Structure 1
């Protein structure tokens, strides 16, 4: 997404509170590699979460539909505007880069810090076949490697403001010569919107898959499950908009009923997971398994569609919606305690994230166990099989073997990047949180 033709890239080091660290930065220009090293050192040494914010040119072509749009009066947009205006007074690179008003900001949260708000939220994406991923290599619009940009630190500026309407003033903190901009509200809101957008993207993908599967199945009960989950979106979207505008959630939004529907779906997913693991445990160890035996518990496992695959997608949808709700609850609690923003935010996110992580790991484990099974030839008295039967058996074996493709268990945690497009009028679009490296 980022256009790296710009040679000079201003970069802020943002802390969520007064951080005490030894001198590791300085005010000299840095390479991308040096900036990445600095983030890692800051995350290790600082006693508060640290993030970096880069300022890039706004690309000519930008798919804004992938992100969450916020107007110029939203807290995130205001915090960003204040940071820009105050920084531009004392930094020529910032003043030059923001002269047009439209820019793309890239907030990178180190892996150590990202782990604080949920290990299952963002995983590395494979470059091949992925869309919208952020790449570590500096590739220009023509697909060729470009001259790496120079990152110029911006220090001594403060993003004054609040997230919740009180307290949480921000300023510049110098610790042993390293200038940090204390901007807890800006980091909080960027992470909250980026994570919410990421979860909504997963929801859209899951719904698309489920719709295709249900067209083949014509299963009324599964369609009811999808309708119940899909009906939660309106309440979640409204609650997101209200909270990001510093409003208060009310009963009239219907968020309570949406949470109930999501929790019910999570419960069904856990019940199905237990049933699947129990069936796999009963299979004779080391012996081939007939496909008919598998399809009793995993209907449709021998094909591209089927009830089993639909159940998996329904679980993925429920998890995506639950993560959006978790972000809402975390933001609400954080805004209720403006002097304890990031700690409260991450604590609320971690509460349910462990259970969601266990569910996802359990589902991934089932797929891996199925993919490792050896299939037995059908039980028949005929000495030979028809060519069509042999083809069918080979196709089924291949499809079951592929169930383990792309399954990630406890994947390596990466730095998380959140991109924010800012228009001249001050409005912003926050794109889904993605791995900073691919």
Structure 2
């Protein structure tokens, strides 16, 4: 996907409200590094968060199954098409870059906006061979390694905060595109949550096949049964309009909330068990497995409980996004701020649950296992192997766990087809 030739990539600065910004170098090409610096300046100096949107040539190979597909009649596809067509009328660079109708649109949302999504909502997911999952980048981490970025002015001569327009701000035209940003963020976050759901389902299925635990299997089935209602609600809301009661979303939300209640109670028991351990002393494996059954095994009940909690959180995050979008669409004068307020309130419980579980895993990974008490001075090879394997698995629990709650810029990739339909890929840290 990289090219030895320098590709000119249009980049827009989008606002979700009419705001004043510092002067932008319109018409002056810049490198990826300078674009990154510009984002930093805008984040500090702009009255409101400024989103950037880049239009890249379509990549040769894209795993579209990882994203959420939206029809040409969907609000996001329509807003994007309108924005691009209006920009093409006033910019030859945009007209050339978008002439084929196909393209890859990369939206970078600043950290202060991403903070409203919840600290646990957008996190990197480890990929095979290192790095993070991203369907649309090459080995260097860029879409077009040799691209030049050309800032483009506002997309229209006039407009409202609720539509696509231009605001005279700091001597530069700034596109006001709240609905476009809202829908891109909503679908990108929803796709990210669904990716986490798929990963949790795979892990749970494998664990339950080993455990043969009926009650946990029932919990899994109840949560997995919520997917159909959530998928239908997502398609209707992001493609058409309002959600009706006939979809069964209410019963799905009840099942998810019940699962979150179980996760909260389990977390409280885990924290209490860790608090009860003697500080600074080694712990016997038998003592640990009473509160964390199976923690020394590849599978185990404790790990199944962790994955069930992860599945419940992922499903709830998708529901929260749907509720936030519905709330924002009910306030057309200020959709994006309404969206982020609703999302931030509802994400707090999920963030606290995920942070609590991460804290438990980190504490467990730092424990030292003691030799079993007994009258025998010598232990069998099997006992020694079990103790060493248990210590290794225990220490691995903390691998990849992040307790860093700082918000980061978020990237959302949107692949646009010739017919105007789009595929939105999971939001990832920029």
- TM-superposed CA distance for 1:49, in Å, is 2.7
* Between 293-302 and 18-27, the greater mean CA deviation after superposition: 18-27
Match of 1:305 in 2: 299
Q: Does 1:321 pair with 2:315?
A: yes
Map Cα deviations across residues 366-402 of structure 1 (whole Å, 9 max, x no partner).
Answer: 1111111111111121111122221221111111111
Map Cα deviations across residues 215-262 of structure 1 (whole Å, 9 max, x no partner).
Answer: 000001001101111111111111111111241111111111111111
Match of 1:94 in 2: 94
Q: What secondary structure does 1:342 align onto?
A: helix
- Summarize the Cα distance change of 1:416–1:214 in structure 2 as closer, same or farther, 3 Å threshold: same
Match of 2:67 in 1: 67
Match of 1:104 in 2: 104
Match of 1:120 in 2: 120
Match of 1:226 in 2: 220
Match of 1:417 in 2: 411
CA contact (8 A) 1:3 1:140 kept: no
Map Cα deviations across residues 179-213 of structure 1 (whole Å, 9 max, x no partner).
Answer: 21111110000000000000000000000000000
Match of 1:333 in 2: 327
Q: Does 1:196 pair with 2:196?
A: no
Number of matched pairs? 428
TM-score normalised over the length of structure 2: 0.94
Match of 2:210 in 1: 216
Q: What secondary structure does 1:55 align onto?
A: strand
Map Cα deviations across residues 286-332 of structure 1 (whole Å, 9 max, x no partner).
Answer: 22111011111100001111000000000000110110001000000
Aligned partners of 1:219, 1:139: CA distance in 2, in Å? 42
CA contact (8 A) 2:108 2:409 kept: yes
- TM-superposed CA distance for 1:22, in Å, is 2.8
Aligned partners of 2:142, 2:188: CA distance in 1, in Å? 24
- TM-superposed CA distance for 1:45, in Å, is 2.2
Aligned partners of 1:397, 1:367: CA distance in 2, in Å? 13
CA contact (8 A) 1:299 1:307 kept: yes
Q: Does 1:358 pair with 2:358?
A: no
Pairing 1:282-301 to 2, within 5 Å after superposition: 282-301=276-295
Aligned partners of 2:5, 2:339: CA distance in 1, in Å? 36
Pairing 1:272-283 to 2, within 5 Å after superposition: 272-283=266-277
- Structure 1 residues without counterparts, runs of 5 or longer: none
CA contact (8 A) 1:123 1:411 kept: no
Q: Does 1:78 pair with 2:78?
A: yes
RMSD between superposed Cα atoms in Å? 2.2
CA contact (8 A) 1:213 1:305 kept: yes
CA contact (8 A) 2:3 2:146 kept: no
Match of 1:343 in 2: 337
Aligned partners of 1:240, 1:157: CA distance in 2, in Å? 29
* Between 427-436 and 23-32, the greater mean CA deviation after superposition: 23-32
